[in-house]
Chain A
Amino acid sequence: MFKYIRYVAVLVAFALVLGASFFVDPYVLALMTSILVAVALVASWNIISGYVGYLFLGAAAFYGLGAYVVALTSDVLSWYAAIPLAGLLSFAVAFAIGIPFLRIRGPYFIIATYAIAELISNVLLYMEHTFAGTIGRYVTIQDTLQIYIAISLVAFAAVIVSSSIRKTKFGLGLLSIKGDEDAASASGVNTTLYKLIAFGVTAMFMGMAGAAVIPRLGYVDNTIAFSSRISFNTLVMGVLGGAGSVAGGTVSAVLLSLLFEIFFSSAEPFPFLIALGVVLFVAIFFMPGGLAQLFSRISKRIGRARSTESGASVAQATRT
């Protein structure tokens, strides 16, 4: 019975999210749009960083790519077609980049992904400036409600896909790479292909997220589309939520986005930001596994209290 709770919960949440758009004021709608972007980015980030274990600091690269796909095809292609195109292109680019990049491990991978995002941003600016004679581009503006629906779809798709992967053979393969890559390879998992696909799926959702929201602004340039804060925020939200936990990541994305909005927006933000930094520091220090660790601690404690004695001791013995 509890097995289906997950699907019901997701459907209910989706309905709520969509329904809310009808009776909140435009500012809250705009805020929810931003929150959904964060959710989409973190959920997809979890695939390469949570399951495969390669912490990724280049979300801006694909988000920006998606945004530019829309910007560059503004005149020739309908926005509805541009979004999946952005996704496909991001997948392809990630696959291509991944072939050399996914050989790099650990913290080097983090730095390298940051580097590639900055590199793409720089090259794009250069090409725009030299060949198109411009710094930024105009984008046909779309209705805010349509953008909201688009990003909701992307976010929910990312969450569903990302959490479903875990149960599949593919997902288990990814987790085995995270555990011990060489052992996984030795036991027959095609680690290269798996990593590439994981990376590609991550990039696909990130690209679609960028494509979905950029028409809100009417104007895009490389600092807007490839802003490094996108990468940093995604990584921090993902880790705080617990790398590998889609639920944790989603909650963390929502929570941090709200916290940023409440505290960052003030015209005198500095004391709040300092306080936020301190809170983050303390939270990371005591809860390195993120929110997911917190949830499982809480649920374990409740579970332990409810079980019968014998059940509890046996359950404890068999608990992994």
Chain B
Amino acid sequence: MVDFAGLVNLLFGGLVIGSLYALSAVGLTLLYGAASMTNLAHGEFMMLGGYLAYWLFTAMGVFPLYSLVLAAVVVAGIGALLYLGAFSRIYAREASVAETESMTLLLTFALIMILSNAVAWIFTPNYKSYSAMTNIIEFGTFRAISGRLAAPAMVIPLILVFWILIRRTWFGRAIRCVIEDRDAAKIVGVNISRVFLSCYMIGLAMAAVTGVLYSMIFPITPYFGIEYTMASFVAIILGTVGSVPGALIGGLIIGMAESTLVYYLEPALKIAIIYSILILVLLVKPRGIFAR
């Protein structure tokens, strides 16, 4: 039996990891749900964000919270370049959605090779970490390192704000239109390519921000991306592709499962448990929890 303090710590741990998955998932659901971009390299953009934060901190003393903004801007820029330079042509070929998805899958696979090896070349494959936000914050008997607190503290408001924007603003509505029915959106007059461009920029920026938060807590290597990509896909499928609250919930579920459920079952089976959840959901509710 676990006492109350232990339980709170367990839940907090799940919340920390879950919020990282959640933000990554929201970015991916935007990319995949709206723009049909099967981004296998999602974790690599996360890794880029992490290394940016590392470099900015160790070489220039930039406090990681500022790096959140910087990383978002830089990676959004990269996303724009990728879209305008290459990916936009794919959509222009009027290929079916399935073909776009498989094309982007392969292109992003090539991106994985480029990005992870470029970073490994520059920084070496060794573990890198930095010591920032290590002061401990106490709430009564509950203690947490501020770096770990930063994760849910940044992610949850960010996602909420994003969700409000996507529901209230005109542009957010355009994005939702495209997610629901691309052809109808075209007919109605939505500028599809501008929506896609923003999806690339926002989605990848979110991955980068996740990476910055991740680097505050864990050591980073150039190759850690792929497992996060897969976990993000699990999260968005759980929560239904294209749904922002779904991605949030999906991410939190996985985080909680990794931290808490695993405690009651068996830590060594962590991967099996998480993927079992995915497979169960896929079989029972193939479109995800929030499917209509």
Contact = CB atoms under 8 A, between A and B. Distances in A.
In the complex, A touching B (Cβ < 8 A) = yes
A269 to B, nearest CB: 8
Given A106-B98, A123-B272, A288-B99, A112 B109 contact: no
A108 B271 CA distance: 18
Interface in B65-90: 86, 89-90
A184 interface: no
Nearest to A272: B117
A242 to B, nearest CB: 12
Interface string A243-283: 00000000000000000000000000111011011101100
A126 B286 contact: no
Contact of B121 (A108, A274, A284): A274
Nearest to A279: B110
Interface stretch (A15-23, A38-46, A114-122, A211-219): A114-122
A125 B268 contact: yes
A269 B279 CA distance: 37
Given A119-B271, A278-B114, A284-B106, 14 more contacts: A104-B283, A106-B98, A111-B233, A111-B237, A112-B279, A116-B275, A118-B230, A119-B272, A239-B106, A274-B118, A277-B117, A278-B110, A284-B107, A285-B86
Given A239-B106, A281-B111, A115 B118 contact: no
Interface in A90-109: 100, 103-104, 106-108
B282 interface: yes
A50 B275 CA distance: 26
Interface string A37-57: 000000000000000000100
Of all A-B residue pairs in the complex, the 5 with the closest CB atoms, nearest first, are A277-B113, A270-B121, A277-B114, A281-B110, A115-B275
B31 to A, nearest CB: 12
Interface in B81-130: 86, 89-90, 98-99, 101-103, 105-107, 109-114, 117-118, 120-121
B134 interface: no
Contact of B107 (A106, A111, A281): A281
Nearest to B222: A270
Contacts, number: 107
A122 B282 contact: no
B233 A122 contact: no
A150 interface: no
A232 B229 CA distance: 14
A160 interface: no
A107 B38 contact: yes
B200 to A, nearest CB: 16
B278 interface: yes
B107 A285 contact: yes
A126 B273 CA distance: 12
Interface of B: 32, 38, 86, 89-90, 98-99, 101-103, 105-107, 109-114, 117-118, 120-121, 226, 230, 233-234, 237, 266, 268-272, 275-276, 278-279, 282-283, 286
B269 A115 contact: no
Given A115-B278, A126-B272, A236 B109 contact: yes
Contacts of A285: 86, 89-90, 107
Contacts of B86: 281, 285
Given A116-B275, A122-B272, A126-B272, A107 B105 contact: yes
Given A129-B268, A273-B117, A236 B279 contact: no
Contacts of A110: 38, 105
A184 B66 CA distance: 56
Interface of A: 55, 100, 103-104, 106-108, 110-112, 114-116, 118-119, 121-123, 125-126, 129, 228, 232, 236, 239-240, 269-271, 273-274, 276-278, 280-281, 284-285, 288
A270 B116 CA distance: 9
A122 B49 CA distance: 29
Contacts of B107: 281, 284-285
18 contacts: A106-B101, A107-B101, A108-B286, A112-B279, A114-B230, A115-B275, A118-B272, A119-B271, A119-B272, A119-B279, A122-B268, A123-B269, A239-B106, A274-B117, A278-B114, A280-B106, A280-B110, A285-B90
B271 A280 contact: no
A284 B275 CA distance: 30
A274 B114 contact: yes
Of A107, A123, A269, the most chain B CB neighbours within 10 A belong to: A107
A288 B275 contact: no
A284 B120 CA distance: 24
A239 B118 CA distance: 25
A121 B279 CA distance: 15
B115 to A, nearest CB: 8
Contacts of B268: 122, 125-126, 129
Contact of A281 (B114, B120, B233): B114
Contact of B117 (A108, A114, A270, A288): A270
A271 B270 CA distance: 35
B120 A270 contact: yes
A118 B278 contact: no
Contacts of B101: 106-107
A277 B111 contact: yes
